[in-house]
Structure 1
Amino acid sequence: MAGEPAEIDRDRVEYELRGKTLKVYAHLLRVDSSGVREIQRELGFSSPSIALHHLEKLERLGVVGKDNVGRYFIARKVDVGILSAFASIGRLTLPRLGFYAAFFTTIAIAYMLESGASANLYAVVGTVGGVVVFWYEAWRSWRKRPF
Structure 2
Amino acid sequence: MDVQIKTAEKPEQPFPLLFLEYPATIHYHELRKTKRTIIFVPCTFHPVSHSECYGALTDLSISGCLCRVKNVRNRKLPELNIHDRVHLRCLLPGTTEEQKIHGIIRNLKKEKHATRIGVEFENLQPHLHEIISNYIYAVENSPE
TM-score, normalized by length of structure 1?
Answer: 0.24
Q: Which has the higher strand share?
A: 2
Task: Determine which structure has greater relative contact order: mean sequence separation of CA pairs < 8 Å that are 6+ residues apart, divided by chain length.
Answer: 1
Q: Which has the higher helix share?
A: 1
TM-score, normalized by length of structure 2?
Answer: 0.25
